Structure 1
Amino acid sequence: MMRTLQLTFPLPSPGGEGPPCGVLAIGDFDGVHLGHQEVIGRAVERGRELALPAAIMTFHPHPRQVLGMDKYTRLLTPLPAKEKRLRELGVDTLCVVDFSKSFMCVTPEQFVEEMLIPLGVNTVFVGFDFTFGHRGAGTPDTLCELAAGRFAVEVVRPFHMDGQKVSSTLVREALLAGRVRQAAHLLGRPYHVTGTVVHGDGRGHSIGFPTANVEVREPYVVPANGVYAVQVEVRGQKKAGVMNLGVKPTFGSDLQEPVLEAHLFDFDDSVYGEEVRVEFIEYIRAERRFESVGELIEQIGRDAREARNLLTEENSAEML
């Protein structure tokens, strides 16, 4: 069972109860993509070899958000989603460091002496491009020097796919362009958001395609507006469906934020107030305005058939 520690700099000296974070991997790990999984997997494996707990150190809020980069107000894996994924990967301890403006001024030396040493680390894993301390002055080489034989440092090389370095930025770019299959390729799993089913305007039911309106409360990166083939996990079971993500232009909507409306195939239970998980499997088309409701209904029918076929092929491929 993974435990989560909320940490604030500086940490008190070790209390003599043994190392709480024997093997530690450090990073933002937003998305927990395949490159991140390489670092995390190495740390978990080393922890098992040494019979020490395998820990992850991450930062909240996202450092770039504190630096004022607006796009980082939305994340690939908000903290609850990141916790769940790390638990699935076998991590024993998650250390969430409060990243504040004062923490930004901590020197590399202070970070090691007043954060890592008190944690009793045996081995630290970092990515090749890891930086730490004020203005990113610390590098993996700096960390090796500051360790001074008190703990080992392992630097993990970049992880490449299709000739590109896998990164959170690459995943974001894919999602914002609607390329959800590419994002899944980089993540090692379909991209998903979680939310609560809320009451909508009832139009879907009136035109023969009842929808579950999903309100996303965590600050997820949301893919490009459009129509998607999706898998929706509800009550522990995955249901195939088609989702419109957008502002409903056919009905003259003045929505500023996109709405997620999923029509689930062969499912008509009421799930208002329940949490669901939406996995984006394939982009079908862009959202657009139709001249009549009848034209919209015909298009939704075509979208639903395409989504059902795509998901049937997807499930068949997974069974092979």
Structure 2
Amino acid sequence: MKEIKIQILKPQNLKIKHLSFQSLLSNKPLIACWGFFDGIHQGHQALFNNLITIAKTNNYETCIISFNEKPQSVTNEIANQVLLSKEDKIKRINEFGVNYYLEIEFTKELSRTSPQQFIAWLVSCGVKSVIVNPNVRFGHQGQGSVETLKQSSLQVYLCDDVFVGNHDKVSSTLVKQLLQNKDIINANLCLAPNEYYITGKVVHGMKEGRSVGFPTANLMLNANYALPGLATYITLTHVDNKWYQSMTVIMIRNNVPLVETYLLNFNQDLYDKVITVKFLTWLRDNLQFTSLDDLKLQLHKDLENTIAYFKNQ
């Protein structure tokens, strides 16, 4: 597969001064879409697939424009919790066969860019067409809309929202809400054909699981993930190019989220390895135990239920 071309832009590069990235990007006209694209859920996938289809029909090259942080986390100064690490997001975008990926460093100064300035910057980059959601808002205080785009020189294509089951439209916000509610199955429907997963380095923990015969991998996460609600889940864990059945608990300790995973039929040293944990379904809510014997008994029940789950799959 041809690798995507990645360019990281500083905010000052968006100031409109006859700036052109034609030589940097392509001599062909570009069709572009933009957004933070957290999670690459089904709505994002529909947008990217339409982008590719329109590009082939019109002999365009494709460009996805994103930001280093979610704009709302900068303007509202809230924690930038994500469904995918930046590296995984770019990797997933690359799977669609897009020609170019531009990542803009989002700042409060940049948030004051008017819709017209942003459109002028797109045109200066060689963008001839854009594809957006019908309800798109962009520019300072969301003043730009589809009508704003249609009043410009850009050719505008629309991509409808995607709905899954009885839920509202698929969005990163919906996926995060489902995860927080421990509804892994419906969250994964929104993310299909992929499942929600996290990646991290295995570090030393309290070793409580080891003391009752269930040694767990304690993860130092490689992104500020929007984690599922506090509970124990049935998961798959990827180690050294192989997937293992596993159980994963998410808890809070010292006001910090803690993720620990127990791999079935595994007895190798995991310390310092980077592993990926894929969430399949909720197993049980977290419980308080008065003794290690009670904890051990519950973990054996969890193990039986996990083995039964995979047999039924």
TM-score, length-normalised on structure 1? 0.89
| 2:257 is the alignment partner of 1:255 | no
CA contact (8 A) 2:36 2:69 kept: no
Aligned to 1:82: 89
> Could you tell me which residue of structure 1 aligns to residue 309 of structure 2?
310
Question: For residue 13 of structure 1, what is the amino acid of its counterpart?
Answer: L
Between 1:280-289 and 1:84-93, the stretch displaced more is: 84-93
Alpha-carbon offset, residue 25 of structure 1: 1.5
Distance in 2 between residues matched to 1:224 and 1:293, nearest whole Å: 24
Distance 1:20 1:197, change over 3 A: farther
Q: 1:136 maps to what in 2?
A: 142
Separation in structure 2 between the aligned mates of residue 312 and residue 275 of structure 1, nearest angstrom: 27
- C-alpha separation in 2, matches of 1:229 and 1:14: 50
Return the match for 1:154 from 154, 157, 181.
Answer: 157
Unaligned runs of 5+ in 1: 248-253, 315-320
1: distance between equivalents of 2:72 and 2:301?
42
Structure 2 residue 129 is matched with structure 1 residue 123: yes
CA distance in 2, matches of 1:296, 1:153: 59
Which amino acid in 2 is paired with 1:275?
V
CA offset digits 1:241-297 (Å, max 9, x no partner): 0111113xxxxxx52112111110111111211111111111011111112111110
Contact 1:58-1:97 at 8 Å conserved across structures: yes
Q: Following TM superposition, by how much is the alpha carbon of 1:90 offset from its aligned partner in structure 2, in angstroms?
A: 2.2
TM-fit CA distance, 1:217: 2.9
- Report whether the alignment pairs 1:64 with 2:72: yes
Distance 1:16 1:302, change over 3 A: closer
* 1:34 equivalent in structure 2: 42
Identity of aligned residues (%): 26
Q: Which amino acid aligns with 1:302?
A: K
Match runs of 1:1-320 below 5 Å: 1-7=3-9, 8=11, 9-10=14-15, 13-14=19-20, 17=23, 18-19=26-27, 22-68=30-76, 70=78, 72-113=79-120, 115-146=121-152, 148=153, 151-163=154-166, 164-188=168-192, 189-247=194-252, 255-314=254-313
TM-score, normalised via structure 2 length: 0.91
Change (3 A) 1:264 1:158: same
Counterpart Cα distance in 1 of 2:29 and 2:279? 35
**Partner in structure 2 of residue 251 of structure 1:** none
Q: SS of 1:165's equivalent?
A: coil
CA shift at 1:33, angstroms? Answer: 0.6
The more displaced of 174-183 and 41-50 is: 41-50
Q: Which of 118-127 and 156-165 deviates more?
A: 156-165
Q: Is the 8 A contact 1:214 1:259 kept in 2?
A: yes
| 3-state SS, counterpart of residue 122 of structure 1 | strand
Contact 1:19 1:119 in 2 (8 A): no
Q: Distance between the aligned counterparts of 1:283 and 1:144, measured in 2?
A: 46
Q: 1:92/1:312 Cα in 2 relative to 1: closer, same or farther (>3 Å)?
A: farther
Aligned residue-pair number: 303
Amino acid at match of 1:172: K
Root-mean-square deviation (CA), in Å? Answer: 1.7
1:98 Cα offset (Å): 1.5
State the Cα deviation string for residues 169-217 of structure 1 (Å, max 9, x = none): 1111100111111100111121011100111122222211111111113
Return the offset for 1:91.
2.1
The answer to whether the 8 A contact 1:198-1:273 is kept is yes
CA distance in 2, matches of 1:137, 1:27: 16
- Cα distance change, pair 292–109 in 1 and its aligned pair in 2 (3 A): same
Q: Which amino acid letter does the alignment assign opposite residue 228 of structure 1?
A: Y
Cα 1:15/1:166, change in 2 over 3 Å: closer
Q: CA deviation at 1:37?
A: 0.8
Alpha carbons 2:201, 2:273 under 8 Å: kept: yes
Shift of the 19–126 alpha-carbon distance from structure 1 to 2, 3 Å rule, reads: farther
